[in-house]
Structure 1
């Protein structure tokens, strides 16, 4: 009897809980899609801009609608230059490369949409002076290979770990407020002519704001300065030695296993250091994206991504690269 009463009690509870579920309809105003323009301009390339429409936050699907019928004008130093041509996937392209010091303005007109516009200045190259390096051995671990005869793992050599510490000295321009981004590319030449590029390095300089020796990587990594940007606030108008390092492993086979070198041959690697000068809008955009991705979800205040598009949303920024000569690891 007690079991029956217990069963009835549980059944009633389930029914009552199920009856409490209620679907609440959204009665607010559904906003119309806004024009979204994103473009990062550099003097090393023609201008490209991606134009799309925003989505209402309750809309289904993950893709955004590309705009294919936009009229995109480019103005250089406030003088009309040309109309950008549509290519594909919402991308519009110019026929010229901007110059350092140019003020680039993009104006977009789309039927039945608000006109949008924005402008940015092409910054001069960073004034890099010297790049010093120091190779530091940090340890090694055994390299093993399975022996089919003894059916054991044989130690055939060692993988040595090295840190390549860089000190990049550059001179900041006192006359202007400057913003920088550091990128370090490791180019690996693989067997068969294949090439791979990696952007992992450790940015441990004081201006980075990193409080640990975590690896700074691409935008997917969680770090306090994942885009490696900084301003000249701490060294305005002065020379500054920027520090960072790259980790690399090398293989050393024991003499009796040198014949296996074809399988464990060290990959040729080259380092390219690029100290970019970036526009203030690009700097604020990357900083806000960084803060947004590093927030603690529901336990933190929402962070608005920096937007400098008048009449719409998105970002128009610029960067100017200055790549130091390659270095072999």
Structure 2
């Protein structure tokens, strides 16, 4: 009986230690309480006719509780037209704190042709995207009405309605990015009393009551439009000029005809209050037409018209 009891105790302790060893071995494969995601490349590029193609390339980084991006400077970025490689983009470092971009040296895209972008970097899946430049839609008429002026401190405020008519094609879904700005001529008085103008700059227009949340960009406002509202696009705007050092010029309307990925990505950026300056801001890790990565690669075309402020 004592031998049987000894063997039973030995079996109990062996089973206990085996169970503890099994638990210890399982510790390393317990799922963590946060998502671990493989980092991906982020492509950020909008391209148009008559200009080289520029691409900002970053990569997502997953950190506990947050997500960040870092710039990728040593990637292999290739542009393909149809089945032919047209150019390998070279990296151009940024200046004055601006991020660098990959850019074509000589290749200029044209309307209607399909382009494929491939981006490869060590440690990441190859990201790729396809897009073409849509045919430009023409602005038919640009009219300023109900113009009033007022003074607020040193500023002269021009308050007006802007109507934009354009030839929206029938029976297909169309997307637009209407960019609006005010030409301004900065000047200064010389010691002899002469006026010296210093070139034209673009100044952003704004909504008087800030209800037009799509206006974001310093130097150029952006209004996204699907198809064309009945009666055209009518916007209440203000331009603010300091007459002691600025002279007002024309109101500029640039109608960009864009793809659905361009439109959706820009809507996301504007909802998050981010600046848009030709290259989309890649901190938004969403994919719109990028395979095995994030971001957007989208062509657009533009038609620009100008109109004088009445009486100026």
In the superposition, the TM-score normalised over structure 1's length comes to 0.65
- Larger relative contact order, structure 1 or 2 (CA cutoff 8 Å, min sep 6): 2
Q: Residue 271 of structure 1 aligns with which residue?
A: 251
Aligned pair count reads: 254
The whole-number CA distance in structure 2 between the counterparts of 1:111 and 1:202 is 46
- Residues 141 and 121 (structure 1), Cα distance of their counterparts in 2 relative to 1, 3 Å cut: closer
Q: Residue 321 of structure 1 aligns with which residue?
A: 302
Please tell me whether residue 232 in structure 1 is matched to residue 230 in structure 2: no
Q: Which consecutive unaligned segments of at least 5 residues does structure 2 have?
A: 1-31, 94-98, 189-197, 275-283
Please tell me whether residue 198 in structure 1 is matched to residue 203 in structure 2: yes
Please tell me whether residue 177 in structure 1 is matched to residue 168 in structure 2: no
Measured after TM superposition, the shift of residue 200 of structure 1 is: 2.1
Task: Pick the aligned partner of 1:31 from 32, 37, 40.
Answer: 37
- Residues 67 and 166 (structure 1), Cα distance of their counterparts in 2 relative to 1, 3 Å cut: same
CA offset digits 1:249-271 (Å, max 9, x no partner): 689xxxxxxxxxxx847623332
Measured after TM superposition, the shift of residue 36 of structure 1 is: 1.3
Task: Pick the aligned partner of 1:244 from 235, 240, 244.
Answer: 235
Task: Pick the aligned partner of 2:55 from 37, 43, 49.
Answer: 49
The whole-number CA distance in structure 2 between the counterparts of 1:32 and 1:83 is 26
Per the alignment, in what secondary structure is the counterpart of residue 284 of structure 1? helix
CA offset digits 1:272-293 (Å, max 9, x no partner): 1111111110101122333455
The whole-number CA distance in structure 2 between the counterparts of 1:80 and 1:128 is 35
In the superposition, the TM-score normalised over structure 2's length comes to 0.68
The whole-number CA distance in structure 2 between the counterparts of 1:215 and 1:30 is 35
Measured after TM superposition, the shift of residue 117 of structure 1 is: 0.3
Shifted more, 271-280 versus 76-85: the winner is 76-85
Q: Contact 1:74/1:80 (CA < 8 Å) preserved in 2? A: yes
Alpha-carbon RMSD: 3.5
The whole-number CA distance in structure 1 between the counterparts of 2:288 and 2:255 is 24
More strand by share: 2
**Matching of residues 100-139 of structure 1 within 5 Å:** 100-137=111-148
Q: Which consecutive unaligned segments of at least 5 residues does structure 1 have?
A: 1-25, 145-158, 205-211, 221-225, 252-262, 295-302
- Residues 56 and 187 (structure 1), Cα distance of their counterparts in 2 relative to 1, 3 Å cut: same
- Residues 77 and 233 (structure 1), Cα distance of their counterparts in 2 relative to 1, 3 Å cut: farther
Per the alignment, in what secondary structure is the counterpart of residue 288 of structure 1? helix
Measured after TM superposition, the shift of residue 201 of structure 1 is: 3.3
